[in-house]
Amino acid sequence: MNIGYHGLWGLLILAGDIWAIINILQSAVSNEKKLIWIVAVVLLPLLGLILWYFLGPRGGKA
């Protein structure tokens, strides 16, 4: 793997994190839970994204 692939993975993780944060903000959970999930996604980019995807709140637009 050269530097180009690492950069591509970084961009994909960044895009996923931004997508997760937008969905977290649109969810119907309390602001405290939103903050906890956003901090998890920002501080642990890949792990936070995976955890949010499987365990996190879903969008509140039903």
Compute the distance between CA of residue 57 and CA of residue 41 in angstroms, rounded to an integer: 13
- Its pTM stands at 0.81
* Residue numbers of the domain that contains 29: 3-55
What's the one-letter identity of residue 8?
L
pLDDT per position as a tens digit, 17-49? 999 999 999 999 999 999 999 999 999 999 999
E-only strand ranges, the chain: none
Whether residue 60 is contained in a domain is answered as no
Cβ neighbors of 57 (< 8 A, separation 6 or more) are: 24, 27, 28, 29, 33, 34, 37
CA 45 to chain centre: 7
Whether residue 61 is contained in a domain is answered as no
Domain count for the chain, please give it: 1
pLDDT (mean) for 6-15 = 91
